[in-house]
Structures are given as structure tokens and as C-alpha cells.
């Protein structure tokens, strides 16, 4: 399994996700600098969390127009799976691989804490390690995680089963009390129409080691690797 | 040379929590008559172009591709000089 992690100035979860990928895939990922115009053969591309280009203009906006993202878009068009976590999700919406936008959190605060997520759809490879309706716990750490799209887009995402993760209470109830940042319809993670690109604000790579944070992310990476084989 | 000013604001209907916070703060300062605050961004561009029509078309493309996120934002372009 060949995986790759895109690295921008300001990325700060690239090494964390590299460790998680190395464990799940059996070999370390290729780290690809943002100035690269070509990618090696890859079975999975990860756009990691962080503050690419200092979040200048809008979170992810500058990274979305970097040379390597052009190559990522070309590869995504051929069906290679792409996973964007946190800032990576912001980059994927800004470059047009995913619909909608991540706006500033409802309460204007940077939020860094564990949240409960309901796995809304486990039918796709990105959630192959979970079962539908399962509640998993992962940290979020963002200032712009408030998912917004127009009603027609939201209806389409829900109707087509493209919402994979929703913020919820510890009991798994999707309501406003379980919504940390004001995201429309509690959306925490979505896939594109062809089911090859996932963007999510929570960090599975930060709960992929029993000694660090938690273990709910281990099944995420293990399930994904199995599904990709 | 043409100078372009680009005003980028949130679309009507898109929640602006920062604007709301400023509004509350203005009320707290005694400016009771404030009936709404929307935050916005402003850019000043200096262009080599001397033809206003071409300059506007170029800035329009810049707004579409980078300066604004048209999912949630609208923009207005003003040219000077």
C-alpha cells in the first residue's frame, strides 16, 4: 500500500498522520512538499491538518492553489482516494474537490477538545472500520470548522449518503447540544459524489495510539487500508 | 496603472458571528441605534493594465478564483485612476 502525505508550510499534523499510516499500511508514506508538480504512484493521498500558509486570506485558500494540489486534483480525477483532515478538509473545499465551505466557529473561539461523532454511513471504504450508527470519540482543533453549504447541496449530500460523520452527544443524539461549532446539520465529514474524496474536521490520527489520546482512530486507518487492498 | 479596490463580504443570509459580536459590543458602549453589523474584507490592487474594461475583467477573474469564496461571499470591484 503506497500512501502519500502532502506537506505545506504550516502543516502540523503531517507527522502524526504519517505514523498512523505507517502502522496501518505497514510502510511509511511518501511526504510530498507543496512545490512538487508530480506525484509518485499512490493508493491514497492525505492532506493533513495544520495552518497552511498561516490561514492567510481564508483557511486553506492559498494551499488550494499550490502546484501539488493541481497534481492531487488530476490524480483524484482518476479515482485515487484523497483524505483531508481538518486544514486538509478546508483545502479540499477551497480547491473544489468537495462542496461547501468551513466557516468560522459559531462562538468565534478556537475549539480544541474531544467530541463525539456518529458514523452516519459505513458503506464506503473511508468508514469501513466502523459500523453504521457507531459513536466514536476524536479530538477537534480548529477555528474554522463550521460547515456551510446551501440547502440544495445539503439535501443532496444527505440524500446520496455523502455525510459520513456527524457531531453528536455522548449518547449518539445528533442535536444542537452535540454541535461544537455550528456546522449545518451537524456535519463533521463528507465524501464527494464519486465516493473517492473524504474531508473531515476531527482528527483520527490523534487517537491512533493507546498511549496517546485514544484508540478510536485505529479502526479508521485499519479499515481504510483493508478496504483499499 | 489602474488601482482596484475589491470589497468582499458575506452573502445576505450567511451568519456573521463576528459582526454580531461587534454589534453587541457597540450596544454595550451605548450606541443603541446600531441595527446590524456585517464584517468584510477589502483589497487594494495595483495593476499594470491601463484599459479599464480589461482591468475589471482581470479582477473579476481574481475574485472568482481566489479573493472571494463565492459559496458564502459576494464581491464588489471599484476602479480608480
Do residues B69 and A58 make contact, with C-beta atoms less than 8 angstroms apart?
yes
The reported pLDDT for the residue numbered A172 is 97
pLDDT digits 0-9 by tens, B11-53 = 998 989 899 999 999 999 999 999 999 999 999 999 999 999 9
Assigned C-alpha cell, A123: 458503506
Backbone angles phi, psi at A88, to 5 degrees: -65, -40
Residue of A101, A109, A144, A181 best to disrupt the B interface, most CBs of B under 10 A = A101
**How distant, in Å, are the alpha carbons of A41, A61, A193, B53, B57 from that of B47?**
41, 22, 39, 12, 12
**How distant, in Å, are the alpha carbons of A29, A160, B50 from that of A13?**
14, 30, 45
Residue B15 with chain A: CB contacts under 8 Å:
103, 106, 182
Comparing CB atoms, the residue among A99, A108, A148 nearest residue B18 is A108
Q: At what angle do helices A216-228 and A14-25 cross, to 10 degrees?
A: 60
Burial of B81 (0-12, 13-18, 19+ CB in 10 A): exposed
Give the three-state DSSP class for B70. Answer: coil
Residue B71 with chain A: CB contacts under 8 Å:
93, 99-101, 148-150
pLDDT of B81 > 80? The answer is: no
ipTM score of complex: 0.86
Assigned C-alpha cell, A33: 512538499
pLDDT digits 0-9 by tens, A156-197 = 999 999 999 999 999 999 999 999 999 999 999 999 999 999
Average pLDDT over residues A34-51: 97
Amino acid at each position: 500500500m503506497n500512501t502519500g502525505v502532502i506537506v505545506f508550510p504550516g502543516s502540523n499534523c503531517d507527522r502524526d498522520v504519517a505514523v498512523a499510516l505507517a502502522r496501518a499500511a505497514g510502510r511509511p508514506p511518501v511526504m510530498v512538499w507543496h512545490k512538487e508538480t508530480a506525484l509518485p504512484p499512490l493508493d491514497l493521498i492525505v492532506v493533513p491538518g495544520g495552518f497552511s500558509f498561516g490561514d492567510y486570506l481564508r483557511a486553506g485558500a492559498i494551499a488550494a492553489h499550490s502546484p501539488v494540489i493541481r497534481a492531487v486534483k488530476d490524480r483524484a480525477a482518476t479515482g485515487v482516494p484523497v483524505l483531508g483532515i481538518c486544514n486538509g478538509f478546508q483545502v479540499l473545499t477551497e480547491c473544489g474537490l468537495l462542496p461547501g465551505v468551513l466557516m468560522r466557529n459559531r462562538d468565534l473561539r478556537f475549539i480544541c477538545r474531544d467530541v463525539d461523532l456518529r458514523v452516519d454511513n459505513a458503506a464506503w471504504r473511508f468508514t469501513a472500520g466502523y459500523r453504521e450508527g457507531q459513536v466514536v470519540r476524536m479530538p477537534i482543533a480548529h477555528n474554522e470548522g463550521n460547515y456551510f453549504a446551501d440547502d440544495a447541496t445539503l439535501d443532496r449530500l444527505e440524500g446520496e449518503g455523502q455525510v459520513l460523520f456527524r457531531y453528536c452527544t455522548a449518547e449518539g443524539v445528533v442535536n444542537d447540544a452535540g454541535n461544537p461549532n455550528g456546522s449545518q446539520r451537524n456535519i463533521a465529514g463528507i465524501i464527494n459524489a464519486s465516493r473517492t474524496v473524504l474531508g473531515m474536521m476531527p482528527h483520527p490520527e490523534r487517537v491512533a495510539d493507546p498511549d496517546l489520546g485514544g484508540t478510536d482512530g485505529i479502526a479508521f486507518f485499519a479499515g481504510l487500508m483493508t478496504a483499499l487492498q | 496603472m489602474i488601482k482596484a479596490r475589491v470589497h468582499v463580504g458575506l452573502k445576505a443570509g450567511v451568519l456573521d458571528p463576528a459582526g454580531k459580536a461587534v454589534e453587541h459590543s457597540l450596544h454595550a458602549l451605548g450606541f443603541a441605534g446600531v441595527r446590524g453589523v456585517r464584517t468584510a474584507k477589502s483589497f487594494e490592487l495595483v495593476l499594470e493594465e491601463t484599459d479599464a474594461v480589461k482591468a475589471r475583467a482581470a479582477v473579476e477573474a481574481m475574485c472568482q478564483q481566489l479573493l472571494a469564496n463565492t459559496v458564502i461571499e459576494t464581491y464588489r470591484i471599484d476602479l480608480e485612476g
